[in-house]
Structure 1
Amino acid sequence: MKSSEPTAARLGALLCLSLSMLLASLGTSIANIALPTLTVAFEAPFHQVQWIVIAYLVALTLFVVLAGRLGDLFGRARMLLLGLIVFSLASALCGWTPNLWVLIAARAAQGIGAAFLMTLTIALVRETAGGESVGRIMGLLATMSAVGTALGPSLGGLLIGLAGWPFVFFILVPIGLGAAGLAWRFLPSAAPGITSPRTGLSALREKGVIPGMAANLLVANLMMATLIVGPFYLGLGLGFSPVTVGLVMSLGPVISICVGVPSGYLVDFWGASRVLLIGLAGLAAGAFALSALPTVFGVYGYIVAIMILTLGYQTFQSANNTMVMANVPDGTRGAVSGLLGLSRNLGLVCGASVMGAVFSFGAGTSIIEAAAPGAIGNGMQLTFALAGATMVAALWVTRR
């Protein structure tokens, strides 16, 4: 979109991208709070009901690369519009579902739509916003993702209490259709089917895409580890109530919301490569702080470490997304954005599995609920010492 076009048109396009990222993030977080209610509503065991979450994440992971490639082939704005329609229809079906298995299938369809949303919003930034403001728009999208993550549980709980669990999904329909209307009206159109040759691994490495994806995976691994280990440390290690644990855990998303756009401005002002190193250094410092400070200062040490970690994370996100997408040929921008999303999702899976196993090993037991507070502290130390080492490795990879 050219700078000579009306400001309202550019704002409409950016609002569409922002709502698309918000929807994909809300779809991930808003359903979790409904799982206990759905267990009762469908009279089903938890191991079946948890597929409501798993189906969404699996579909999202499997389709991110395909969504990007389809965007390159048939037009990214057109495919984002398709994703918004699929997401909205699937959300409506989730609320109207007659049984658990239809709900799970609808959640998988919702995840497919979300794959288009998450991938193509990133791919459309440069042609929508203009090169001079890419960093700050990447920061805005990171902020919207954090808003969705933070808002989902509280909004979902409120809707369940006021109107019932179907409205956890119905609330997404008007937002999705509104974003679809904005996409139809304001997103820049491009002729589909005009693509450059497929980008080989060596070319991707030269453009910094593969190092960026590797760093993205390692960072996502670390951030998922905080979500897995944090509740155990705060609840069992320090003996806090669930309400207090929730309040402390919400600190990270709140910081993310506040610093997303400023970190984008920093990218535009200093350059993506320099800010990327600052972000990774902050992540390394935060991880090592999580390994050391809570054992000395308790919850106050934990809070300080999380603040350092979150500042580094948001700085990294804005810089890495900008740098990876900066020199990608137009015909492969969607596919590369999909690979970036895939690396993040694989990192989340790795953080939940591998780092969870490291935590159990450090605590000396696989039954964490029965572990003594000291054992939980040992597990936390080992987990984040290792995570800090992975951030040092990410610094090395991105400097090469």
Structure 2
Amino acid sequence: MTATTAETQRTDPWPALWALCIGFFMILVDTTIVTVATPAIIEDLQAGVNEVVWVTSAYLLAYAVPVLITGRLGDRFGPKNLYLVGLTVFTLASLACGLTTTIEGLIAARVAQGLGASMMTPQTMAVITRIFPIERRGSAMALWGATAGVATLVGPIAGGVLVDTLGWEWIFFVNVPVGVIAFALAWRLVPRLETNQHRFDWLGVALSGLGMFLLVFGIQEGEQYDWSTIAGPFTVWRLIVAGVVVLALFVVWQARNRREPLVPLSLFADRNFSVSNLAITTVSFAFTAMGFPLMLWAQLVRGYSPTQAGLLLAPMAVTSILAAPVAGRLTDRVHPRVLTLGGFAGLGVALLVLQAVLAPDTPLWQLVLVFALMGLGSSFLWGPLATTANRNLPPQRAGAGSGVYNATRQVGAVLGSAAIAVLIDARLAANGLSFSPADGAAGGGTLPDQVAGPFTEAMAQSLLLLPAVLLLGLLAVLLFERPRHFGAAPARDAAPAGAAEPAPH
């Protein structure tokens, strides 16, 4: 332990943790708050469903691509410094989101928000890992996980209240005072930590960013261009294939880079790390995609206000928060295959039941039970998967492992956002419907009875994608092996990504 670290750990680290929790809370709320405002944004900015989905996809894409390297930038320039820069970018971008009057401007501002979030997230984990001694780190991560659970509950409800009372712009304006407070507290309470030199894999950043953009753009815009020509020689399928090729080149480059690759492929030699990354991709895919059809159905078919629509997800967040401590204790005692199989089974069954019962007149108690089961299942996925991912890794690789795992989770979210937009458009068309602001479906009105049924059927059919994707995760966790040093406290503490994972949304 260095002198700087030893001095830091002699002081009380909890005030710094509370300061960081505010910024982390704001990032997580912003990933869930937009879906509730989707109908209002569609009407006010005269946008289509696919364009509004880009408001989330752009944020997630800008969040996912740089997150692998921003952690190393924190090591180089100091995690506190980069956290404060990221918080400033995020707060100013939130102001820009609220001030924009076009869907294109909103998407551009969301890109800036994502860049700010990508600078903040790795620094928070680095600071916690370095200021808390290993025997107290578990308690710190428990608070971190509770923050994620509360953010999951607050996001949709707060978004609904703000949209109902002040307008959708205020889901972004509210970040400005919170960001100022978070900046002041972090400046005062978070210690400055020693820095280290790093070589930066800029070619890896360029290849991963270009590949992800081509793939996501091709998937999400495919339906808009009838899976054909976009402009000149550029077709949807050529973009998708080009994205896959560029991502393959990225993997080849990572294998050949002998200096400091963006993604150390040796991490994947550990079976549990590889399985966890695949599994969390499917979980993140499902939870990101789920919000769009549900919020559209709740507000346009049932006539719920944004607040009421957000409250639909409250049972999921509550059961997740209540079950998370139990899942955390069992993670150190029960084989990860058992826990995660139960989690995938519960979540998959809940989604299948939701798809089956979704109708214009579905009883509210059925929805409450389904969402409660979703929260229960997810509590045995987020924490156990993250802990298992890094448990076998040596402490010096825990930082790299956490970065890769968080990036993988974000990639799943990006793909889920893009895929559900395509499927919603396709199922609406298959049911003889089109959706645009001119239809008068947004802004608090409900669809006419003759349209509500086909619209609901389209949303339910879209939801079938999610259990299909989760099946891949379920099959993956069958390959889990018993972790080495199973039940040892230091091994658990070496996995800081676990508690940082957002609760389902």
Q: TM-score, normalised by structure 1?
A: 0.76
Q: Deviations over 1:72-108 (max 9, x none)?
A: 3333333222211222232334445587655543332
Written as runs of structure 1 = structure 2, the 5 A alignment for 1:1-400 is: 5-6=10-11, 9-34=12-37, 44-46=46-48, 51-96=54-99, 102-160=105-163, 166-194=169-197, 198=260, 200-206=264-270, 208-228=272-292, 230=294, 240-242=302-304, 246-261=310-325, 263-267=327-331, 270=332, 274=335, 277-291=338-352, 295=356, 303-326=368-391, 333-354=398-419, 365=430, 379=461, 383=465, 386-387=468-469, 389-399=471-481
Q: Contact conserved, 1:284 with 1:391, CA < 8 A, in 2? A: no
- Relative to total residues, which structure has the larger helix share, 1 or 2? 1
Aligned residue pairs: how many? 392
Q: Deviations over 1:249-279 (max 9, x none)?
A: 3321233344445544554xx35x7357414
Cα distance in 2 for partners of 1:395, 1:367 equals 39
Q: Contact conserved, 2:353 with 2:370, CA < 8 A, in 1? A: no
Q: Deviations over 1:16-63 (max 9, x none)?
A: 23212211122223345555555666x654466665444323311222
State the 1:216 CA deviation: 0.9
State the 1:112 CA deviation: 0.7
Q: Any unmatched runs of 5+ in structure 1?
A: none
Cα distance in 1 for partners of 2:92, 2:292 equals 32
Match of 1:58, SS? helix
State the 1:322 CA deviation: 3.1
Q: Any unmatched runs of 5+ in structure 2?
A: 200-258, 434-450, 483-505
State the 1:305 CA deviation: 4.3
Code of the aligned partner of 2:10: E
When Rg is computed on C-alpha atoms for both structures, the one with the higher figure is 2
Distance 1:194 1:291, change over 3 A: same
Code of the aligned partner of 2:80: A
**Pairwise CA RMSD:** 4.3
Distance 1:219 1:280, change over 3 A: farther
Q: Contact conserved, 1:138 with 1:322, CA < 8 A, in 2? A: no
Structure 1 stretch 120-129 or stretch 78-87: which is displaced more?
A: 120-129
Q: Deviations over 1:338-388 (max 9, x none)?
A: 322221222223334556778999999465867669967984895465345
Q: TM-score, normalised by structure 2?
A: 0.63
Structure 1 stretch 160-169 or stretch 117-126: which is displaced more?
A: 160-169
Distance 1:146 1:276, change over 3 A: farther
State the 1:232 CA deviation: 7.5
Cα distance in 1 for partners of 2:173, 2:389 equals 35
Q: Contact conserved, 2:285 with 2:415, CA < 8 A, in 1? A: yes
Match of 1:399, SS? coil
Cα distance in 1 for partners of 2:426, 2:471 equals 17
Distance 1:121 1:323, change over 3 A: farther
Q: Contact conserved, 2:283 with 2:470, CA < 8 A, in 1? A: no
Q: Contact conserved, 1:275 with 1:319, CA < 8 A, in 2? A: yes
Structure 1 stretch 79-88 or stretch 30-39: which is displaced more?
A: 30-39
Cα distance in 2 for partners of 1:123, 1:221 equals 26
